[in-house]
Amino acid sequence: MAHSQTSWNIALIQSDIHLGNPAANRQRIERWMEEALKAANKPDMIVLPEMWNTGYALERIQELADVDGQESREWIADFARRNDVHVIAGSIAEKRGEQVYNTMRIYARTGEEIAAYSKMHLFRLMEEEKHLSAGQSVVTFELDGQTSGASICYDIRFPELTRTMALMGAKVLFVPAAWPHPRLHHWRTLLIARAIENQMYVVACNRTGESGKDHFFGHSMIIDPWGEIVAEGGEEEEIIAGSIDLSVVDDVRARIPVFEDRRAALYKL
């Protein structure tokens, strides 16, 4: 049975991503992950960005996508087990049958795959809906006896999704992303809002670098349940490290009883 742990040291891998080159991307991500493990405060958890295996090479995604996620899954599971670290494995282009999904997988430090979430809101500005299939399930998962929720990038514009996970017991929201300029203000504001309104930690890992006309700005963030920023990256490749204390979630929810004061029967959704 998994032990209960109320605090985590977290490392966010704010990496550039080679367009359409899964082998190079895996090598790059692995170097950054190994670097993160050298920190004096060894991370309990490493978080990766969105679509780290292929980038947004959507015109070629059918040939580039990892079939059943098998290659990525085996590698990440082995890395987690060998290094005794949880991995929130960002998301990858994953082919299942004839469909390609933008899928996030979560691994415990034992190497066990805990959960998988496929992005349910596809972003039209990057033409995701033309090349990818949408996920159909809200996903929460448990690590070290604590419940967390999974979102990917554009999902944070849909507050109903995060609220649903909070009501399912999530104390942390993990958000791998590929969020570009000029929408830095949206990124920061939405993440902080999701933290405040749901009284939860938000841990968001955004890529950096350029791809076609898109310039990804990083600014990966860890935000506490008061909406205060625990850690935030700049615009270059780097590891963003921070610690979270999940007992703070219970304290904040007790101080301002948002969930008790909801009038769900009156909301027209």
Backbone angles phi, psi at 78, to 5 degrees: -65, -40
Is 50 catalytic? The answer is yes
**One of 94, 119, 128, 205 is an active-site residue; which one?**
119
Rounded CA separation 81/227 (Å): 33
Nearest C-alpha neighbor of 130 from the set 109, 153, 151, 102: 102
**Can you tell me which residue has the tokens 């979630």?**
249
Burial of 132 (0-12, 13-18, 19+ CB in 10 A): buried
Backbone angles phi, psi at 108, to 5 degrees: -80, 165
In this structure, are residues 79 and 88 in contact, taking their beta carbons and an 8 Å threshold?
Answer: no
Is 119 catalytic? The answer is yes
**One of 128, 153, 171, 205 is an active-site residue; which one?**
153
In this structure, are residues 232 and 40 in contact, taking their beta carbons and an 8 Å threshold?
Answer: no
Catalytic residues: 50, 119, 153
